[in-house]
Amino acid sequence: MRTYFIEFTYFLASILFILGLRGMSHPESARRGMHLAEFGMLAAIIGTLLNQEIVSYEWIIAGLLLGSTLGAILGVWVPMTAMPQRTAFSHAFGALAASLVGISEYYLHGAHLGEFKMGALGFEVLLGSLTTTGSLVAFAKLQGLMPGAPTTYKGQNVFNLSLLGVTIACFIGLLINPGAAFLFYLMLVLAFIFGILLVLPIGAADMPVVIALLNSYAGLASAATGFAISNNVLIIAGTLDGGSGLILSIVMCKAMNRSITNVLFGAFGSVSETSTAGVDGQMREAELDDVAVRLAYARQAVFVPGYGMAIAQAQHVLRELGETLEERGVTVKYAIHPVAGRMPGHMNVLLAEANVPYSQLYELDHINPDLAATDVAVVIGANDVVNPDARDNPKSPIAGMPILEVDRAKAVVVLKRGKGKGFSGLENPLFYKPNCEMLYGDAKESLTHLVQAVHKA
Amino acid sequence: MPAETLITTFYVFILAAFLGYQVISRVPPLLHTPLMSATNAISGISLVGSLVTAGAHQTLVSAILGFVAVTCATTNVVGGFVITDRMLRMFKRKAAPAPKKEEK
C-alpha cells in the first residue's frame, strides 16, 4: 500500500512537471504552470519521506532547513541583473547533489553493482562532477571574480581531450570491474578538473551557450541518477531539464551561426587581429540635444539593448525614455537579439523588470523588416549583435551570424562607454557608417539626460 | 536488474525526451530565462535520491554526503521556484493600443 502511495506521488509529480513546463509556452499561463510544478515537487518529497529505507530524519531535516534558507535568500535577494551568475551557481548545486548521491551509492555498494547500474552511476558522477566545477568557473567569470576573457595556452585542446580520454578510460575500466575503487575516485577527480578546463577557454560573450549546455548536463546527471536508482520521476524530470538545456544551447548557437564544438573548443574572442582592418571613415560623436530632438520627432524608434545595458543597470531609465517618447506619439519598439546579454532571455527579463510590456519586445525576425522604416535606432551597450560585418564580410569571424540590421534605419545612435572594441574584440563597421552617431558615456547617465532633453524638445 | 525493468526505464527516458522536445520548443524566447530557472528547480527532484541517502543512515560518510546533497537540491528547488515566480510576475502585457496612463 505504502509503495503504491509513494509511486503515485511520483507519477503525479511527473504529470505536473510536464503541465508546468507546458504553461511556459505563454506568459499568461506560466505562473499557474509553475504552481502546478511546485505542488508536484511537494508531493514527491512527501512521498519520498515515507520510504521505508529512511530510518532517521535528523540529517534530512537539517538539510531541508538549511537548503530552504539558502534557497529563499538566493531567491529573494538576487537582483535580476545577476541572473546569469545565479543560474550558473544553481547548476553547480544541482549537479553536485546528483554527483554526491552517486558517490555515496558507490561507496556503499561499489563492488556489488551490476554493469548497468555501474554505467548509470558512472554517467551520473562524471556529468555531475564536471558540471559542478564547470558551472563554478562560469559563475566566477560572470560575477567578475576571474577574467571573463578566454584563458588559453598552447596545446590546450589536445591536453583537454586527452584528459577526457583518460577519464572515459577509467569509466570503461569500472564497467569491466566495478570493484576497482581507485578507478572510480580517479575518474571523480579527473571529471572535476575537466569541468574547470572545459569552461576556462570560453569567453564571457559565449556564456549563453555554455550556461544552456551546463543546464543540459545537470539535467542529464539527474536523469542518470534516475537510471541508477530506477526512479521514473527522476528520469522524466532530468530528461526534461537536459532536453531544455540542449534546445536552448542549439538556439543560441544558431543565433551566432556557430557549432557547439566551435563554442567549446574555438576559444572565440581571443583572436582579435582578424580581417577587419579595412574599415575606413570616422566615428562621429553625437550631440545629446540633437539626438533628443530626433527622437522626439520620430515616428518610430527602436531600442536595441545589450549586455552594456545590464552592466549600467539602465533598463529603468530606458523604459522612462520609451514612455516619454510614446506620450509624444512615437511608436517605441524594443529589438531583442537571442544572444544579447549573458544568458538566454536575459534582456527580456531585465526589461520586464523595468515594467516594459512584453508586447513591445520584438524578436529578430519580426523587427528586421521593420528597421528600414525606423527613424532612429538606439543601440544601448550592444555590439556584435548589430555588427553588419556578419552579413557583409564573409571573412569576418562572425560571418553568417544573424544580426539586428540597425544600419538600415534612417539614423542610428550608439550608446557606448568608450571608444574601445566590443567583447569579441572585433571592429564594428556600423560605427563608421554615415547614418550612425556615437554617444559616449555611462548608458544610464546618457539616457537620463536624453529623457530630460526630450521633455524640453 | 531484470531486463523488463531496464526496457521500461528506457521507454520512459525516450518518451520523456520526445515530450520534452515538443513542450520546450513551444516556449518563446521571451521566457527563456524563467524556463532555465524553472527546469533548474524541477531537476531538484534529485532530492528523492538524496533524501534516501541522507536518511538510510548506513554509514556516517553516506549520511553526510546525503546531507550535503539534500541541502544543495533543496536550495535549488526553493530558490529556483521563488525566483521563477519573481520573474514571471514581472511579465505584463498592458493594453496594447495607445491609451496608457494607468501605471507608471
Q: Could you tell me which residues come within 8 angstroms of residue A1 by beta carbon, excluding any fewer than 6 positions away?
A: none
Phi/psi at A286 (nearest 5 deg)? -90, 150
Q: How far apart are CA A21 and CA A331, in angstroms?
A: 34
Provide the 8-state DSSP code for A380: E
Q: How many CB pairs under 8 A join A and B?
A: 369
Cβ–Cβ gap A27/B31 under 8 Å: yes
Phi, psi (rounded to 5 degrees) for A192: -60, -45
> B88: which chain A residues are within 8 Å (Cβ-Cβ)?
27, 30-31, 34
Does B48 sit within 8 Å of A344, measured CB to CB? Answer: no
ipTM: 0.90
Would the CB atoms of A352 and B9 count as touching at under 8 Å?
no
Q: Tell me if B45 and A237 make a contact (CB, 8 A cut-off).
A: yes
Q: What angle do CA B27, B33, B36 make, to 5 degrees?
A: 80
- All three cell numbers of A258, joined, read 556557430
Give the Cβ contact number of residue A179 at 10 Å.
12
Provide the residue type at A108 as one letter. Answer: L
pLDDT in tens, chain A (457 residues): 889 999 999 999 999 999 999 999 999 999 999 999 999 999 999 999 999 888 889 999 999 999 999 999 999 999 888 899 999 999 999 999 999 999 999 998 877 888 888 999 999 999 999 999 999 999 999 888 888 788 888 888 889 889 999 999 999 999 998 888 899 999 999 999 999 999 988 887 788 888 999 999 999 999 999 998 889 999 999 999 999 999 999 988 888 888 877 777 765 544 444 444 456 677 888 888 899 999 999 999 999 999 889 888 999 999 999 999 999 999 999 999 998 888 889 999 999 999 999 999 999 999 999 999 999 999 998 888 999 988 898 888 888 889 999 999 999 999 988 776 656 667 888 988 889 999 998 999 999 999 999 988 7
Could you tell me the pTM of the whole model?
0.89
Whether residue B81 and residue A38 make contact (CB cut-off 8 A), yes or no, is yes
pLDDT at B102: 42
With CA atoms as reference, the chain A residue closest to B29 would be A345
Q: Does B7 touch chain A (CB under 8 A)?
A: no
Query: Using a CB-CB distance cutoff of 8 angstroms, which residues of chain B are in contact with residue A64?
Result: 70, 74
Given a contact cutoff of 8 angstroms between Cβ atoms, the answer to whether A351 and A361 are in contact is: yes
Q: How many CB atoms lie within 10 A of CB B89?
A: 12
Cα-based distances in Å from B45 to A44, A235, A395: 8, 10, 47
Name the CA dihedral angle for A315, A321, A327, A328, rounded to a multiple of 10 degrees.
-150
Residue with cell 547617465: A445
Residues of A in contact with B67 (CB under 8 A): 59-60, 62-63
State the Cα–Cα distance between residues A451 and A269, nearest whole angstrom: 35
**Residues 28-47, chain B, touching A (beta carbon < 8 A):** 28-47
DSSP state of A434: T
Nearest to B88 among A34, A57, A60 (CB): A34
Query: Is B3 at the interface with chain A, CB within 8 A?
Result: no
No. of helices (H) and no. of strands (E), chain B? 4, 0
A68 close to B (CB below 8 A): yes
Which ranges constitute the DSSP H helices of A257-285?
260-265
B38 contacts in chain A (CB < 8 Å):
20-21, 24, 34, 37
CB of A80 within 8 Å of a chain B CB? The answer is yes
Q: Is the dihedral of CA A124, A219, B79, B53 positive or negative?
A: negative
C-alpha cell at A307: 549586455
Rounded Cα–Cα distance for residues A422 and A143 (Å):
19
Please give the Cα distance from B92 to B89 (Å, whole number): 8
Positions of A marked active-site: 384
CA distance A1 to B87: 40
**Is CATH 3.40.50.620 the classification given to domain A288-456?**
no
